[in-house]
Amino acid sequence: MFDLIKRLCQSFGVSGNEEDIRDVIKSEIGNKLNEVRVDALGNLIAVKKGKGKKIMVAAHMDEIGVLATFIDEKGFIRFSNIGGVSQFFALGQRVKFRNGVTGAVFYEEKLDDMKNLKLSSMYIDIGAISREDAEKKVQIGDAACFLGETVQEGDVIISKALDDRAGCSVLLQAIKNLPETENEIYFVFTVQEELGLRGAKTSAYQILPDMAIAVDVTKTGDTPECKPMAVKCGGGPAVKIKDNSVICHPEVRRLLEDKAKQLNIPYQLEVLSAGGTDAGAIHLTAGGVPSGAISIPCRNIHSPSEIVSLKDLENAVKLLTESII
Amino acid sequence: MDVLSILKELSINTAVSGNEHTMSEYIKSMFEKYCDEAAVDSFYNILGVKKGLGNSNSKIMVSAHYDEIGFIVTGFEEGGFLRFSNIGGIDAKILLAQEVTIHGRKPLYGIIGAKPPHLLNAEETRKAVKIDELVIDTGLDAEELKKIVSIGDFITLKALPFSLKGNRLSSKSLDNRAGLCALALLLEELSELKHDADVYVLASTQEEVGLRGIQVAAYKLEPDLAIVIDACHGEISDSPKGEAYPLGKGPAIGIGPNLHRKLTNKIIDIAKEENIPYQTNIEPEDTGTEAWATQVSRAGIPTILLSIPLRYMHTTVETLDISDVKNIARLAARFISKGCREVGDLWCY
């Protein structure tokens, strides 16, 4: 599973620029399902046909990043964020454009107080000597992702983009070992989640499922002096109760809890006070779709050093599989 | 219909956003008394229909949300204290020394404590209260508590209704059980008036967390016209001008881009003809009500907003004037019966 996650995490796929990661996922699915299609917004929809219930499973394949907005005469690139990028996490990091050009993110040193650091007073240095030189490599409007190696330390994986390639890996593992079932299952790798659940919204409208489950990461409350939250990395997949985008449907929540108990796998209950996930857009689609979510506990979300537990991922695969067949 | 006792009963019922199944059957049977049919959907919205005379194919939706603000259990602290976070907009200041009910395996009584003034240092007295720093005390120790309560259980504020002088009632959750009461009164009025259109009453869910129930219900029903009933701010001594409305002066009729101008004018005309008191509530943009989501459902729905002035919104002492609830039902009923005959012409600008 680690190798799969590494392939997924190291693929480029900043929101709105999901071409590369989509190709990687497409080849991972191969011909294991009845149909694989890409819709108008770029969502990858993989279908296992059947006559039973119509179930949508969603994980977003986009990642946060930056967008080049202006190149000055000395060749320094100004940028804006794509998705929730913290100026403090970004400082001193490296970013990589889709064509492979790598740059260092730094800040205007004449800053009275580090607290006042803003993305607008930061720049990307690609070693260019002039605007013309920089423009040979990077154009305004090009997106770049943060760099962060994918490594394993004991049970945990440390990497960039685990939000939500971790979720994508859970879907792919479930596809790989999908048991016989009557249900018609739509595995959707959504685009532009980080910009406001946009891919989930349009894909759910096409599918109009009877039920939906999103697989995404969630925050934890197990690091030094962090805000209280009863979710731990390594404590098992979390069954979402609510976040800012959705209060999960009681029937879906019960289904997930019951299956976790049946499988005898550890699970946690998640009440997330900030943030949202694809289920938020899906459940309000058309006449409404009862929706829930399986969350992968993840430390340091939206940093290049996100951390998840392999055990949690493996249990999430079991829980998801059992809940949709 | 004894409006006071219905209002009291509706307000002490509990239905925190996302956990409305606790009250959906109660509302369904309330609607069934006056409706041809009533049903609960998968989001616990309750839709009742009262058929018209059959001279028109149009569908009128009259909605009021029935969810209430509340809390959710987020964790356990040593010594048996519960951590919680809010569902819907709550000012943490009002929570100190409140009573609550935790809806666990069985309902459990609890209190939100407050540090005694003797123990507060100078800095703490000036500090704002934050919800994530408050805890609930049930008297049980952590082990016993976990047998009854689980993370994700809902919590409601506990308060009893009481009548103030005049025609005033104070209670929790009058936002928007007062609107729900108006729906029941509307149905009663309509049973004595003739109306062409089919009237759909909708008690909707998850309004307090972002107008969610109405989005799915309006999409499914696809009405030709919508009337949204909700609470607006009642005037108090220091309320900002133009954002709060006096109690007992009649329903506030919303005016602004969120609302259909010609239909709004029509309902104002009807209020004048029928001698029903009313006020106007000018809303330059988002009304913050279900009208905002209803207006842009599918290809668009012409929408009217009627509001009940309510003091101390989102507290345990929400206060209203009962005449406003009655008048909102009278006005909506007469509009549906009288005004709607001309509605076809009114839709185009």
Tell me the pLDDT tens digit for each residue of A75-125: 999 999 999 999 999 999 999 999 999 999 999 999 889 999 999 999 999
Q: Give B-chain residues touching A197 at CB under 8 angstroms.
A: none
Q: Give yes or no: residues B43 and B90 share one domain.
A: no
What is the assigned CATH class of domain A65-146? Answer: mainly beta
CATH number at residue B287: 3.40.630.10
Which domain covers residue B266, as residue numbers? Answer: 3-68+172-346
> Would you call A226 an interface residue with chain B, using a CB distance cutoff of 8 Å?
no
What CATH homologous superfamily does A2-63+160-324 map to? Zn peptidases (3.40.630.10)
Q: Profile chain A (325 residues) by mean pLDDT over runs of 10 residues.
A: 97 97 98 96 97 98 97 97 97 97 96 93 97 97 98 98 98 97 98 97 97 98 94 98 96 97 98 94 96 98 98 98 97
Helices H, strands E: what count in chain A? 9, 17
C-alpha–C-alpha distance, residues A190 and B303, integer Å: 34
DSSP letter string, B222-242: --SEEEEEEEEEBP-TTPPTT
Q: Give yes or no: residues B153 and B28 share one domain.
A: no
The size of chain B, in residues, is 349
Q: Give yes or no: residues B327 and B194 share one domain.
A: yes
Phi, psi for A57 (deg, rounded to 5): -120, 130
Residue B35 is assigned to a structural domain of this protein: yes
pTM greater than 0.95 (yes/no): no
Contact A61, A190 (CB under 8 A): yes
Residue B165 is assigned to a structural domain of this protein: no
Would you state the structure tokens that stand for residue B255, as one six-digit string?
């005016």
Which B residues, 208 through 227, put their C-beta within 8 Å of a C-beta on chain A? Answer: 209, 212, 215-217, 219-220
Per-residue model confidence as pLDDT tens for chain B (349 residues) = 899 999 999 999 999 999 999 999 999 999 999 999 999 999 999 999 999 987 778 899 999 999 999 999 999 998 899 999 999 999 999 999 999 999 999 999 999 988 888 888 888 888 888 998 899 999 999 999 999 999 999 999 999 999 999 999 999 999 999 999 999 999 999 999 999 999 999 999 999 999 999 999 999 999 999 999 999 999 998 888 888 999 999 999 999 999 999 999 999 999 999 999 999 999 999 999 999 999 999 999 999 999 999 999 999 999 999 999 999 999 999 999 987 666 666 655 4
Q: Give yes or no: residues B90 and B150 share one domain.
A: yes
Q: Give yes or no: residues B210 and B316 share one domain.
A: yes
Q: Give yes or no: residues B107 and B60 share one domain.
A: no
Which of B41, B42, B296 to mutate: most A Cβ within 10 Å? Answer: B42
Distance of CA A169 to the CA centre of its chain: 10
Please name the member of A247, A269, A286 whose beta carbon is closest to the beta carbon of B151: A269
Residues in CB range of B56: below 8 A, 6 or more apart? B196, B197, B340
Residues in CB range of B310: below 8 A, 6 or more apart? B174, B175, B178, B231, B232, B233, B234, B318, B319, B320
C-alpha–C-alpha distance, residues A197 and A23, integer Å: 21
For residue A253, give the amino acid letter.
R
Q: Give yes or no: residues B176 and B86 share one domain.
A: no
C-alpha–C-alpha distance, residues B139 and B77, integer Å: 13
Q: Give yes or no: residues B209 and B290 share one domain.
A: yes
The residue from B128, B157, B186 where one domain ends is B157
Residue in A with minimal Cα distance to B211: A284
Which pLDDT score is estimated for A106?
Answer: 97
Would you state the structure tokens that stand for residue B53, as one six-digit string?
């005379």
For residue A209, give the amino acid letter.
P
Half-sphere exposure of A232 (CA within 13 A, CB side): 9
> Would you call A229 an interface residue with chain B, using a CB distance cutoff of 8 Å?
yes
Q: Give A-chain residues touching B41 at CB under 8 angstroms.
A: 287-288
Q: Give yes or no: residues B35 and B111 share one domain.
A: no
Cα Rg, chain A, nearest whole Å: 20
Q: Check A271 against B209: CB less than 8 A apart.
A: no
Please name the member of A227, A230, A288 whose beta carbon is closest to the beta carbon of B216: A288
Total of domains in chain B: 2
Q: Check B216 against A284: CB less than 8 A apart.
A: yes
Q: Check A286 against B216: CB less than 8 A apart.
A: yes
Q: Give yes or no: residues B189 and B113 share one domain.
A: no
Strands (E), A184-299: 184-190, 211-218, 238-242, 268-271, 291-297
Q: Give yes or no: residues B114 and B63 share one domain.
A: no
Q: Which DSSP letter does residue A22 get?
A: H
Q: Give the orientation angle of helix B322-337 with respect to helix B174-190, to 10 degrees.
A: 40
The residue from B113, B130, B157 where one domain ends is B157
Residue B167 is assigned to a structural domain of this protein: no
Which pLDDT score is estimated for B124?
Answer: 84
Contact B310, B175 (CB under 8 A): yes
Q: Give yes or no: residues B80 and B94 share one domain.
A: yes
Pairing between β-strand A35-38 and β-strand A44-48 as defined by DSSP bridges: antiparallel
Domain boundaries, chain A: 2-63+160-324, 65-146
Nearest to B268 by CA among B235, B309, B226, B305: B305
CATH number at residue B129: 2.40.30.40
Write out pLDDT tens, residues A136-154.
999 999 999 999 999 999 9
